[in-house]
Structure 1
Amino acid sequence: KSQINHNKHYSTPEEEEQRKLNFLNSLQIVEKHNELYKKGEKSYELGINLFSDLSADEYKAMFRMPDPTVRKPAPAPAFIANLTVAAPQSFDWRQQGKVTPIKNQGGCGSCWSFSVVGAIESLYAIKHSQNLDLSEEQMVDCMNSKCGGEWIYDGYKYVIANGLETESVYPYTAGSGKYNACKEQKSSPHTHISSYQSLGKGISEAHALATDAEIMAAVQNQPVSMMFNAAGSDFSGYKSGVLTHNDMGWTGSHAVIIVGWGT
């Protein structure tokens, strides 16, 4: 049933058998976790999805962010949060129509591009009251790492220098893991940004990361790009609820945008 629901096709009987074993292992993890969820011992529910037939190593291999243990110079001026004003209990840019629809990066390590583009799309919607669909493929094709992962702030630097085309002009085709020759049109890109700011003091030490209060202050201005450790069965099988972890470490493997908070 899952194979049909997620349009899965396997090339050999041997692969199909291995995928079945992977799926059954995922199902066991989901059922064991959800028993705890039903008892109120877990705050989030797991489910079966398109990742359920992958092995743990295959799932981890999808996340190709650069190694954050390698210190790099401060990428941008720091965001100075106004912490004198208490943040509301909940906040959600989606409720204001300022977040574009969820997109699928496919088999390309391009989450960094989707994070950068998603934040810029939201900023455009906030400023102009109009949704815009910008090109993730442009950065994948035109930056050095292609589908191999990239620093988020290098993506912002690219947009400052080159601008972005719309999705209709430069559509996403890297979902299969293959990218194309760069086709950027520097003379007439649709959208530019002039600058960006960073949260926290660095990315190589846990104490240098931004606090929750600083993040909430920034998110009230616009959705914010971030990295987190997504290489685990809890995230791969996430279905609903509030996923809480204190032992995931600070090593980033996946890039998304923060659009709000709540309980």
Structure 2
Amino acid sequence: MAKVDIAAVQTKIVEKQARWQARANTITQLSDAARKRMLGVVVDQAELAREVAAAKPPAARANAPEAPGAPGFAPAVDWRNRNGNHVTSVKDQGGCGSCVSFCTTALTESMASIEKGQKLDLSEADLHFCSSHGANCSGWWPNNALGEIKNRGIVDEASFPYSSAFTGSGGAPVCKNVANRDDKAVKITNFGALSSATDRKNHLTNVGPCSAVIEVYNDFFAYSSGVYSHVSGALAGLHCVLVIGYSEVDRCWICKNSWGAGWGDGGYFRIAYGQCGIDTTYPFHWATGVKIPGGKWSGWEDLGGIITSRPQAVSWAKDRIDVFARGLDSAVWHRWWDGAGWRGWESLGGLIHGAPAAASWASGRLDIFGIGTDHKLYHKWFQGGWSGWGSLGGFLTSEPAAVSWGPNRIDVFARGGDNCMWHLWWDGARWNGWENLGGQLSSAPAVCSWGANRLDCFVRGLDCQLHHKWWDGSRWSNWEALGGILTDAPAAESWGPNRIDVFVPGTNFHMFHKWWDGTKWNGYEDLGGVLSSGVGVSSWAAKRLDTFVMGTDSHMYHKWYA
């Protein structure tokens, strides 16, 4: 047993005027052999030479502010606080040399958050014990692990928990066969290496974290806080970590380790530039193009027309979509998908400001709403044939939003002359309201419902952020800020219980997606496009979304998720 001598390490830190602190922890109490078993990088020298020679930034950086290889990096980066937290929680590899699987899995999780807006918890056990590596605790090389993630993927942690892997003879690891594995595996599309310091910092600034290899000396096990530099002790082995940022002021890399949150600075550490081979001997490894199983987004489909508002959409049955927009004549125009093809355009008349709104409370039933030139709300419905337009009063300064949470029920929302959100509803017998729901809106509201007597409303506030207010069946909530920078009104839809999908136009004219998965908000996810309006959205089945926008040519465009 050879515990790390903390007092001796602290003495060396003072002697060398190093910028870090040491303390005892569970790892410093282990034997030399036990600590070395945690260091699982095995270098293939020929592969390392090839990677360094071929190292270059990923193609994903073609749109970065600077050309590849040119300085284009920020003075400091930390992906725990870079348009949100894109670093998953610190994990513990235990006494197994599986650090390469932990650092590359962490890389995949971070890129899923950055690219897809989804926080994943993936199975290091699946990668380390069920891949070409084999069911053992020996080491690996990051490039080999990333190749397995690209070709084979990684399942979620719940399907194969790391703690459940050590059930073999004497506690040896085993592979667990996961049912329907291919339907659960998360993959990457591209991976590679970065050699120069400039390329590494450009990537961390513009793309995301990287995995890195470091030489671990005995003093490193005692790291507590500060900027680490080697001061004492022999080389114990090589280790793989996730680099989540850097600081030019402190001249250091910021890293996430896999020795549990009780080690280091909550499981993280900072290491000085040029130390332990992190940026001299070994390249950084990157990954992009995360592919998450399940539905996929289509491209954009041009549905023609010449429209002068954002489209609004609703579905009254499986494989049925009805879309409405204002035309050049300020009338409402209608186009619909009947399960076999797109039909229309059909003029429904009227003379409206902004976009119409649409709701459906039964198969074959449509209710549309528009704001007239007198700022009143007007209503027209279809049930075997179209009605005329009828006035519902009010004094409104935005286009309306409408939804139905049950048979013969309609809820309508719009901004009033006081910039508050106002509510009018049909209870099956008569119209009720208007009800003032407060807020200070700088856009039209959006509304969706995921259950009977449930309403979720979304608006752009005076701060241009997304704000949320909901009715839970007995009372209205306060307003909740959900961030983002919106350039127009939001859109919202629900495909099932406790699920909400919100779409907003961003400052780059792309469509962005934020969603509630039943426990937390996820996103924003950039879905591209070049929008000249807000978004309309409908859903005709679970895990089905159809979005519609006006393009720069005033055509209606369609993008769907299935």
**Structure 1 length normalisation: TM-score?**
0.75
Deviation at 1:162, TM superposition (A): 1.2
Q: Which runs of structure 2 are paired with 1:27-46 in the superposition (5 Å)?
A: 27-33=6-12, 36=14, 41-46=17-22
Deviation at 1:246, TM superposition (A): 9.7
Judging changes above 3 Å, is the alpha-carbon distance between structure 1 residues 128 and 59 closer, same or farther for their aligned structure 2 residues?
same
Moved more, 118-127 or 174-183: 174-183
Judging changes above 3 Å, is the alpha-carbon distance between structure 1 residues 126 and 251 closer, same or farther for their aligned structure 2 residues?
farther
Task: Name the CA distance, whole Å, in 2 between partners of 1:88 and 1:246.
Answer: 30
- What percent of counterpart residues are identical? 25
Are the aligned partners of 1:99 and 1:122 in contact in 2 as well (CA < 8 Å)? Answer: yes
1:129 aligns with 2:105: no
Unaligned runs of 5+ in 2: 58-66, 251-562
Are the aligned partners of 2:6 and 2:222 in contact in 1 as well (CA < 8 Å)? Answer: no
* Residue aligned with 1:235, SS: helix
Which of 206, 211, 228 is equivalent to 1:225?
211
Deviation at 1:245, TM superposition (A): 4.3
Q: Which runs of structure 2 are paired with 1:167-186 in the superposition (5 Å)?
A: 167-173=157-163, 174=165, 178-184=172-178, 185-186=180-181
Deviation at 1:188, TM superposition (A): 1.2
Task: Name the CA distance, whole Å, in 2 between partners of 1:166 and 1:134.
Answer: 4
1:71 aligns with 2:46: yes
Paired amino acid for 1:47: R
Query: Please, what is the CA RMSD of the aligned residues?
Result: 3.0
Task: Name the CA distance, whole Å, in 2 between partners of 1:252 and 1:152.
Answer: 15
Q: Deviations over 1:83-141 (max 9, x none)?
A: 33442221100113000011000011100001111000000000122211011000122
Are the aligned partners of 2:97 and 2:138 in contact in 1 as well (CA < 8 Å)? Answer: yes
Task: Name the CA distance, whole Å, in 2 between partners of 1:105 and 1:241.
Answer: 23
State the partner residue of 1:82: 68
1:51 aligns with 2:46: no
Write 1 or 2 for the structure with the bigger share of strand: 2
1:108 aligns with 2:96: yes
Task: Name the CA distance, whole Å, in 1 between partners of 2:232 and 2:196.
Answer: 17
Paired amino acid for 1:222: G
Judging changes above 3 Å, is the alpha-carbon distance between structure 1 residues 224 and 247 closer, same or farther for their aligned structure 2 residues?
farther
1:93 aligns with 2:70: no
Judging changes above 3 Å, is the alpha-carbon distance between structure 1 residues 251 and 86 closer, same or farther for their aligned structure 2 residues?
farther
Deviation at 1:212, TM superposition (A): 1.8
Moved more, 210-219 or 106-115: 210-219
* Residue aligned with 1:229, SS: strand
Task: Name the CA distance, whole Å, in 1 between partners of 2:6 and 2:231.
Answer: 24
Are the aligned partners of 2:96 and 2:137 in contact in 1 as well (CA < 8 Å)? Answer: yes
Are the aligned partners of 1:47 and 1:238 in contact in 2 as well (CA < 8 Å)? Answer: yes
State the partner residue of 2:245: 260
State the partner residue of 2:414: none
Q: Which has the higher contact order (CA 8 A, sep 6+)?
A: 1
Deviation at 1:169, TM superposition (A): 1.3
Task: Name the CA distance, whole Å, in 2 between partners of 1:236 and 1:246.
Answer: 12
1:142 aligns with 2:148: no
State the partner residue of 2:143: 153
Runs of 4+ in structure 1 deviating by more than 6 angstroms, as ranges, are none
Q: Deviations over 1:213-255 (max 9, x none)?
A: 121112221110111111x12210000001134999x997100
Task: Name the CA distance, whole Å, in 2 between partners of 1:120 and 1:211.
Answer: 22
Deviation at 1:59, TM superposition (A): 2.1
Deviation at 1:142, TM superposition (A): 1.3
Paired amino acid for 1:198: A
Are the aligned partners of 1:108 and 1:178 in contact in 2 as well (CA < 8 Å)? Answer: no
State the partner residue of 1:189: 184
Larger radius of gyration: 2
Are the aligned partners of 1:52 and 1:237 in contact in 2 as well (CA < 8 Å)? Answer: yes
Paired amino acid for 1:26: D
Write 1 or 2 for the structure with the bigger share of helix: 1
Task: Name the CA distance, whole Å, in 1 between partners of 2:17 and 2:28.
Answer: 23
Number of residue pairs the alignment of both structures matches? 227
Judging changes above 3 Å, is the alpha-carbon distance between structure 1 residues 65 and 175 closer, same or farther for their aligned structure 2 residues?
farther
Task: Name the CA distance, whole Å, in 2 between partners of 1:186 and 1:52.
Answer: 38
1:239 aligns with 2:233: no
Moved more, 137-146 or 97-106: 137-146
Deviation at 1:75, TM superposition (A): 5.7
Task: Name the CA distance, whole Å, in 1 between partners of 2:103 and 2:138.
Answer: 15
Deviation at 1:41, TM superposition (A): 1.3
Task: Name the CA distance, whole Å, in 2 between partners of 1:245 and 1:83.
Answer: 29
Moved more, 172-181 or 87-96: 172-181
Task: Name the CA distance, whole Å, in 2 between partners of 1:175 and 1:254.
Answer: 21
